[in-house]
A and B are shown apart, each in its own frame.
Chain A
C-alpha cells in the first residue's frame, strides 16, 4: 500500500520531467541558433577552464607527452626528407591543378584564412565520431567550417562555444563528403560508417577505373560542404557490387585520427 502510494506520488513528477525534457529537445534542435546555445556555451567554457587547470596539475602527463613528442619528431624528420623529394616532382602537377581549378572556378582553401587549434578531446561519445578543439567562436570559428591537417580533411565544425568547438569527423556514420578520385576522375561520395572504421565509396559505376591506393579529394561541386582539392580518403579495396550496378569501394581516411594533435579550421563557408 505504502509503495503504491509512493509510486502514485512520484508519477506526476516523472511526467513533468519528461515534458520538460521534450520541450528542451524541441527548443534546442536548431543547434547554434538555439536560444539555449548561450547557456550551453557558458557551461562548456567553464568546464573547459576547469579541465585545462586539471591538465596542468596532472603529475603524470608531461613525461609521457615528451616521449611521445620525441618519437613523433623522429618520425616526422624521416617523413620530411621523403616529402621534400616528392614535392619537387609534384610542383609541375600542382601548377597544372591550379590552372585547371581556376578555369573551372572551383573554390579552394589555398587563400582562405585558417585558425590553428589543438585537439583537446578525441571521441568521448559512443555514438558519434567527434573531436573537441581548443578554440571556439572567439577565434572566428563558425559552424560548417572545414577542419584540415597537412595530410587532408578531418571533418567540419558542428558546434561552437566561446572557447571550444566540436568537429564531426569524416568517419562519422552521418558524414557524407563529395569526392573526386584523382586518377580515375570519377565523382562520388565518401560515406562514414563510424569511428575507427573504413569509409564507404558510393555512387561509383561498375565501369569505373578506380583502383586500390588511389586518392580522392573533395570535389568542391555546387552545394558541397567543402572547397575542392582537400585529400579525404585513399581507396583500400574495390570490387563489383553484389546487389546493384555500383562498385563496392572501401576507403581509408587520409588523416590518421589516432595521431591528431593540431588542426587548422579553414574560415570558409559553403
Chain B
C-alpha cells in the first residue's frame, strides 16, 4: 500500500476513535461534533476532489457502522462533501478565509445530504430548527479548525498551469 493510503487510513481510524471516545459523549449547544467530517474536509482542501471523495466515502462508511441509519448514508454525504470542497479548492486561492468558507460549505452539504437520505430511507424526523442548529454549529467549528489542520498536511499535486502566449 502506498504511503498516502496508509496515512489516510490511520487518520480516519484515529478520527473514529476520537469520535467514539470524546465527541459522541460531549456536545456544543446540544450538537455532537464530527471528527470524521473534519478529517474529510481537511483532506479535500489539502488534497483535492479525488482524495476528498475517496476519503469521504471511506470515512462515512466507517461512521455508518456506529449509526442506526442504513450503511452508506454517511458515505454518500461525506463523499459528496469531500468532492464538492475538493473541486472548489482545486481552483481557489490557498487563503485561510477561503479554506474556512469551504469547510463551512462542506459541513452544510454533508449534514444536509445525510438528513435527506436519513429522512427518505430511515424515517429520521428532524425539525428545521434542529437541522439548522446542527449545521451551523458543525460548520462554524469546522470553519475554525479545518484551515489550521489542512495547512499541516499539504498533499496536493501542483496544478500545472498552461502558459498561453
Contact = CB atoms under 8 A, between A and B. Distances in A.
Interface stretch (A11-19, A78-86, A214-222, A247-255): A11-19
Given A29-B70, A124-B25, A13 B50 contact: yes
A21 to B, nearest CB: 4
Nearest to A51: B20
A168 B123 CA distance: 13
Interface in B93-137: 115, 117-118, 121-127, 130, 134
Contacts of B20: 47, 51, 121
B66 A17 contact: no
Interface string A1-37: 1110011011001100110111111011100001010
A27 to B, nearest CB: 8
A256 to B, nearest CB: 18
B38 interface: no
Given A24-B72, A123-B24, A128-B68, A174 B125 contact: yes
Contacts of A14: 49, 53, 79-80, 83
Contacts, number: 137
Report the contact-size class of chain B (Cβ under 8 Å from the partner).
35 or more
A194 B130 contact: yes
A25 B72 contact: yes
A71 interface: no
Contact of A158 (B64, B65, B68, B126): B68
A17 B51 CA distance: 12
Contact of A127 (B54, B56, B65, B118): B118
Contact of A24 (B70, B90, B159): B70
Nearest to A173: B125
A24 B32 CA distance: 25
